[in-house]
Structure formats: structure tokens, C-alpha cells
């Protein structure tokens, strides 16, 4: 099944999150070109993470918390983030001021190029 341009952009944005950093669902949606599509980012993660080998664990909610339930892999996400050096508070929140990925202008340019290439290849 063909992926939409937004789905392709979300995939590339998630791939770009460096180890030891996190991004929010809304932040990925903004980078992918649709600021109000955080729930669509969740859908992309759910349907594409395994096949696309995405670092799904690096995407959290806007409060810096893991959005998954325990039966959905919250423990795995917590473990993977801790292995990458992401620190959690006592109430298991990430200090976004320290660990949020904010792409540099160079990273943004590369990301936009990758998105365009992926869309051209798929389209």
C-alpha cells in the first residue's frame, strides 16, 4: 500500500531523532508539515515502526511522558530511552529542556532533502 506524503515525512522525521534525544508527537507533526496532526503521528508509529525500523521509543507526549500503556510497550520504551542516557524524574517524566531534539538549520535542510527524495521515490 502506498504511503501518503505526510506519512513519508513523519517516517523521515522520526528517523532523524538522534540517540539520547526525544521529540513529541506534535513536534514531529509540525516538522512533517501538519502541526495539528499529532494523532496521525501516533498512527504512523503504530503501523510503520517495525517495517521501517523506526526509533519509535524516542517519541513522547508533550509533557515528556511515555504515552503508551504498559501492555503496549511502555516498559520497553522507558528501558530503551534510559539506555540512551535520557533521564527521568521520580514521576517518570523527561526533562524536555534537556532532552528535546531541536533540529539545527543544517539538520532541517537535510531532513527536508530526505523527505523530498523519499516522496519522489515513492511517488
Q: In this predicted model, what pLDDT tens digit does every residue of 6-65 receive, in sequence order?
A: 999 999 999 999 999 999 999 999 999 999 999 999 999 999 999 999 999 999 999 999
What per-residue confidence (pLDDT) applies to 73? 83
Q: What is the pTM of this model?
A: 0.92
Q: Is residue 56 within 8 Å of residue 46, measured between CB atoms?
A: no
CA 46 – CA 29 distance, rounded (Å)? 15
Domain boundaries, the chain: 5-122
User: Which of the four pLDDT bands, split at 50, 70 and 90, describes residue 121?
Assistant: confident
56 DSSP assignment: G
Please state which CATH number belongs to domain 5-122.
1.10.10.10
User: Which of the four pLDDT bands, split at 50, 70 and 90, describes residue 1?
Assistant: low
User: Which of the four pLDDT bands, split at 50, 70 and 90, describes residue 122?
Assistant: confident
Q: Which residues contact 66 (CB under 8 A, 6 or more apart)?
A: 60, 74, 77, 78, 92
Q: Which tens digits make up the pLDDT trace of 60-114?
A: 999 999 988 777 788 999 999 999 999 999 998 999 999 999 999 999 999 999 9
What per-residue confidence (pLDDT) applies to 20? 98
Amino acid at each position: 500500500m502506498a504511503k501518503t506524503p505526510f506519512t513519508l515525512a513523519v517516517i523521515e522525521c522520526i528517523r532523524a531523532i538522534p540517540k539520547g534525544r526525544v521529540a513529541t508527537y506534535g513536534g514531529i507533526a509540525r516538522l512533517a508539515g501538519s502541526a495539528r496532526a499529532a494523532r496521525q503521528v501516533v498512527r504512523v508509529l503504530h503501523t510503520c515502526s517495525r517495517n521501517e525500523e523506526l526509533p519509535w521509543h524516542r517519541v513522547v507526549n508533550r509533557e515528556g511522558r511515555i504515552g503508551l500503556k504498559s501492555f503496549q510497550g511502555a516498559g520497553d520504551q522507558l528501558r530503551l530511552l534510559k539506555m540512551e542516557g535520557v533521564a527521568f524524574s521520580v514521576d517518570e517524566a523527561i526533562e524536555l529542556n534537556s532532552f528535546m531534539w531541536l533540529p539545527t538549520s543544517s539538520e532541517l535542510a537535510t531532513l527536508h532533502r530526505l523527505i523530498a527524495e523519499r516522496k519522489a521515490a515513492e511517488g
